Amino acid sequence: MDELIRKLRSSGYGLHIGYVFTGCIMYAYDIMLLACSCFGLQQLVDICEQYGKQWDIIFNPRKTQCVTFGGKNPDKCCIILNGNKLEWIEKLTYLGCQFFSHSCKVDFSTNIRKFYGGLNNIISVLGKNRNEISCVHLVKTYCVPSLLYGCEVWN
Protein backbone atom coordinates (compact mmCIF):
# COMPACT_ATOMS: atom_id res chain seq x y z
CA MET A 1 0.00 0.00 0.00
CA ASP A 2 2.99 2.32 0.36
CA GLU A 3 3.28 2.28 -3.43
CA LEU A 4 -0.36 3.37 -3.73
CA ILE A 5 0.21 6.26 -1.32
CA ARG A 6 3.29 7.34 -3.33
CA LYS A 7 1.28 7.29 -6.56
CA LEU A 8 -1.57 9.26 -5.03
CA ARG A 9 0.83 11.80 -3.48
CA SER A 10 2.83 12.29 -6.67
CA SER A 11 -0.30 12.68 -8.84
CA GLY A 12 -0.72 16.31 -7.77
CA TYR A 13 -4.39 15.70 -6.99
CA GLY A 14 -6.02 15.30 -3.62
CA LEU A 15 -6.06 17.45 -0.56
CA HIS A 16 -2.94 19.14 0.78
CA ILE A 17 -2.46 21.03 4.03
CA GLY A 18 0.54 23.19 3.31
CA TYR A 19 3.03 20.79 1.74
CA VAL A 20 1.59 17.74 3.48
CA PHE A 21 -0.50 15.37 1.33
CA THR A 22 -3.72 14.51 3.17
CA GLY A 23 -5.65 13.20 0.18
CA CYS A 24 -5.64 9.60 1.39
CA ILE A 25 -6.49 8.39 4.87
CA MET A 26 -6.03 4.68 5.47
CA TYR A 27 -7.02 2.54 8.43
CA ALA A 28 -6.45 -1.19 7.99
CA TYR A 29 -8.12 -1.91 4.62
CA ASP A 30 -10.35 1.16 4.56
CA ILE A 31 -9.31 4.00 2.29
CA MET A 32 -10.74 7.50 2.32
CA LEU A 33 -9.82 9.74 -0.61
CA LEU A 34 -10.05 13.52 -0.15
CA ALA A 35 -10.02 16.02 -3.00
CA CYS A 36 -11.00 19.63 -3.59
CA SER A 37 -12.78 18.93 -6.88
CA CYS A 38 -14.71 16.19 -8.64
CA PHE A 39 -12.02 16.01 -11.30
CA GLY A 40 -9.31 15.52 -8.66
CA LEU A 41 -11.38 12.87 -6.88
CA GLN A 42 -11.88 10.97 -10.14
CA GLN A 43 -8.12 11.06 -10.76
CA LEU A 44 -7.47 9.56 -7.29
CA VAL A 45 -10.11 6.87 -7.87
CA ASP A 46 -8.52 6.03 -11.23
CA ILE A 47 -5.09 5.65 -9.58
CA CYS A 48 -6.58 3.28 -6.99
CA GLU A 49 -8.35 1.33 -9.72
CA GLN A 50 -5.09 0.95 -11.73
CA TYR A 51 -3.24 -0.10 -8.57
CA GLY A 52 -5.97 -2.65 -7.87
CA LYS A 53 -5.64 -4.15 -11.34
CA GLN A 54 -1.86 -4.39 -10.93
CA TRP A 55 -2.10 -6.17 -7.55
CA ASP A 56 -5.36 -8.10 -8.14
CA ILE A 57 -7.35 -5.98 -5.67
CA ILE A 58 -10.99 -5.30 -6.45
CA PHE A 59 -12.44 -2.10 -5.01
CA ASN A 60 -16.16 -2.67 -4.51
CA PRO A 61 -18.27 0.15 -6.01
CA ARG A 62 -21.29 -0.95 -3.91
CA LYS A 63 -19.31 -0.28 -0.72
CA THR A 64 -17.86 3.00 -2.01
CA GLN A 65 -19.61 6.33 -1.63
CA CYS A 66 -18.90 9.99 -2.26
CA VAL A 67 -19.73 12.87 0.04
CA THR A 68 -19.20 16.63 0.03
CA PHE A 69 -18.43 18.36 3.31
CA GLY A 70 -19.54 21.93 3.87
CA GLY A 71 -21.80 22.17 0.84
CA LYS A 72 -24.32 20.39 -1.35
CA ASN A 73 -23.41 17.22 -3.20
CA PRO A 74 -22.78 18.14 -6.85
CA ASP A 75 -25.64 17.27 -9.18
CA LYS A 76 -23.59 16.94 -12.36
CA CYS A 77 -20.48 15.24 -10.96
CA CYS A 78 -20.23 11.56 -11.73
CA ILE A 79 -17.40 9.54 -10.16
CA ILE A 80 -16.79 6.16 -11.82
CA LEU A 81 -15.15 3.10 -10.19
CA ASN A 82 -14.76 -0.14 -12.17
CA GLY A 83 -17.31 1.10 -14.70
CA ASN A 84 -19.92 1.87 -12.03
CA LYS A 85 -21.24 5.28 -11.01
CA LEU A 86 -20.63 5.94 -7.31
CA GLU A 87 -23.45 7.07 -5.04
CA TRP A 88 -23.42 10.52 -3.40
CA ILE A 89 -24.55 10.35 0.23
CA GLU A 90 -25.45 12.80 3.02
CA LYS A 91 -23.98 10.78 5.89
CA LEU A 92 -20.69 8.86 5.80
CA THR A 93 -19.81 6.07 8.23
CA TYR A 94 -16.08 5.62 8.77
CA LEU A 95 -14.40 3.82 11.68
CA GLY A 96 -17.76 3.41 13.38
CA CYS A 97 -18.47 7.15 13.40
CA GLN A 98 -21.00 8.98 11.27
CA PHE A 99 -19.95 12.20 9.54
CA PHE A 100 -22.74 14.51 8.37
CA SER A 101 -22.01 16.30 5.11
CA HIS A 102 -23.66 19.69 5.67
CA SER A 103 -22.73 20.29 9.29
CA CYS A 104 -19.41 18.38 9.31
CA LYS A 105 -20.46 17.02 12.72
CA VAL A 106 -19.42 13.58 13.96
CA ASP A 107 -21.91 11.22 15.63
CA PHE A 108 -20.39 8.39 17.65
CA SER A 109 -23.57 7.32 19.45
CA THR A 110 -23.22 3.84 17.88
CA ASN A 111 -19.99 3.37 19.84
CA ILE A 112 -21.75 4.43 23.04
CA ARG A 113 -24.63 1.99 22.39
CA LYS A 114 -22.15 -0.86 21.83
CA PHE A 115 -20.36 0.04 25.07
CA TYR A 116 -23.57 -0.04 27.13
CA GLY A 117 -24.74 -3.22 25.38
CA GLY A 118 -21.51 -4.99 26.32
CA LEU A 119 -21.62 -3.58 29.86
CA ASN A 120 -25.20 -4.77 30.39
CA ASN A 121 -24.29 -8.24 29.09
CA ILE A 122 -21.34 -8.51 31.47
CA ILE A 123 -23.39 -7.38 34.47
CA SER A 124 -26.27 -9.75 33.65
CA VAL A 125 -23.96 -12.75 33.20
CA LEU A 126 -21.96 -12.09 36.37
CA GLY A 127 -25.11 -11.56 38.47
CA LYS A 128 -25.56 -9.94 41.88
CA ASN A 129 -22.63 -11.54 43.68
CA ARG A 130 -20.08 -10.54 41.06
CA ASN A 131 -16.41 -10.00 41.76
CA GLU A 132 -15.80 -6.30 41.09
CA ILE A 133 -12.23 -6.84 39.89
CA SER A 134 -13.43 -9.41 37.33
CA CYS A 135 -16.17 -7.02 36.22
CA VAL A 136 -13.70 -4.14 35.78
CA HIS A 137 -11.33 -6.40 33.82
CA LEU A 138 -14.13 -7.59 31.50
CA VAL A 139 -15.38 -4.03 30.93
CA LYS A 140 -11.85 -2.84 30.19
CA THR A 141 -11.26 -5.76 27.81
CA TYR A 142 -14.58 -5.94 25.96
CA CYS A 143 -16.45 -2.65 26.39
CA VAL A 144 -13.87 0.13 26.34
CA PRO A 145 -12.39 -0.88 22.93
CA SER A 146 -15.87 -0.68 21.32
CA LEU A 147 -16.34 2.76 22.88
CA LEU A 148 -12.96 4.08 21.71
CA TYR A 149 -12.94 2.49 18.23
CA GLY A 150 -12.24 5.33 15.80
CA CYS A 151 -11.66 7.90 18.55
CA GLU A 152 -8.84 9.36 16.48
CA VAL A 153 -11.43 11.08 14.30
CA TRP A 154 -13.31 12.75 17.16
CA ASN A 155 -12.89 16.52 17.52
Strand-by-strand arrangement of the 91-94 sheet: 91-94, 97-100, 106-107
User: What pLDDT, on a 0 to 100 scale, did the predictor assign at position 130?
Assistant: 84
**What global pTM score does this model have?**
0.75
- At 155 the pLDDT is 61
User: Cα-Cα-Cα-Cα dihedral of 131, 136, 142, 143, to 10°?
Assistant: 120
**Is residue 17 packed enough to be buried (19+ CB in 10 Å), middle (13-18) or exposed (0-12)?**
exposed
Q: Residue 128: phi, psi to the nearest 5? A: -65, -40
Q: What pLDDT is stored for residue 136 in this prediction?
A: 94
Please tell me the predicted confidence (pLDDT) of residue 72. 78
pLDDT along the chain (155 residues), means of 10: 92 92 87 92 96 94 88 86 93 81 81 93 89 93 89 70
Q: How many whole angstroms separate alpha carbon 57 and alpha carbon 49?
A: 8
| Model pLDDT, residue 153 | 67
Task: Tell me the Ramachandran region of residue 85: left when phi exceeds 0, alpha when psi lies from -120 to 50, beta otherwise.
Answer: beta
